[in-house]
Structure 1
């Protein structure tokens, strides 16, 4: 990163240069590819104050220009650096949006590793043909004994009269017949 410090109608002392350099170093925390940062401090006698202008060149992105005017040069530098950090943070967040990051890569990986046709077939309900079992009429007592032995909750059967019946275990431990 190239850094240039310029003073127009004002002399930059070592303390001001150190403050500027330290402030500019804080801009690197966003891990953006900063090409150059130009800081121009100028004094204006008519407007009674100082102006600091930061021009930040980010690789592959637009140039960020921050201009701040104040009576005190140190205050102007601090306010301008805060504004620059806010602009860089927004740029960084826009570039590395965590909600969308990796979504396209995940879709690509999923589509490469999974056969979509096989996956859709696996998700469909599978119908297995079975041969019908012919039910002979049974006594309720026989079905009651089977139900007690098997641990099932209910049993469907045809009774002696040829009606389809359901014998089920109730929650109170007794049995019901439908």
Structure 2
């Protein structure tokens, strides 16, 4: 993870830099692919009151950039609050990823259960249809009589798909 720490309107000390780096290290526990992390620390002085502003920008792989801003009178408190908010956002992202994987695992388990239930039923064997040329109904009837099939699917002369089948009374039906 590439990190950059920038100080605006005040000088960064080594203690502040190491504190921010430790904060970035705590964010890596969510195992998200954080490409880069940027921290901008700035001092604000409005109406005689001193304050600090902290901005974290986290670039995640295959996700949008997460930007978190926090203001406080104490610099370390502002960093802590920003890290807390960033960890909440990263935890949500991590939960989204693990939840989607969990749903996929549940689906696979349901399919396995469904396949076990189907084992008691007759096996269905897919076959390719021979729809190369249009046939007359009489030709399709001869094909069905000469085979041991229950039905025969074909295209008739008008290019409509038709089904001819053996009935239980020994006659033939046509759809």
Tell me the TM-score normalised to structure 2 length.
0.61
Q: In the alignment, which residue of structure 2 is the partner of 1:136? A: none
Question: Is 1:31–2:31 an aligned residue pair?
Answer: yes
- Give the total of aligned pairs: 120
Q: In the alignment, which residue of structure 2 is the partner of 1:102? A: 105
* Cα gap change, 1:74 to 1:115, in 2 (>3 Å): closer
Tell me the TM-score normalised to structure 1 length.
0.60
* Cα gap change, 1:16 to 1:2, in 2 (>3 Å): same
Q: Structure 1, residues 6-37: CA drift from partner, whole Å, max 9, x if none?
A: 00111110000010001110000011000010
Q: Structure 2: which 5+ runs fail to align?
A: 124-175
Q: Structure 1, residues 65-109: CA drift from partner, whole Å, max 9, x if none?
A: 11000011000000100000011001101110175251233355x
Q: In the alignment, which residue of structure 1 is the partner of 2:22? A: 22
Report runs of 4+ in structure 1 exceeding 6 Å deviation: none
The offset of 1:121, in angstroms, is: 5.4
Q: In the alignment, which residue of structure 2 is the partner of 1:81? A: 83
Distance 1:19 1:44 in 2: 20
Q: Secondary structure at the match of 2:32?
A: coil
- The CA RMSD over aligned residues, in Å, is 2.5
Q: In the alignment, which residue of structure 1 is the partner of 2:94? A: 92
Aligned pairs (5 A) from 1:15-164: 15-46=15-46, 48-97=50-99, 99-107=102-110, 110=112, 114=115, 117-120=118-121
Q: Structure 1: which 5+ runs fail to align?
A: 123-178
Larger radius of gyration, structure 1 or 2? 1
Q: In the alignment, which residue of structure 2 is the partner of 1:10? A: 10
The offset of 1:5, in angstroms, is: 0.3
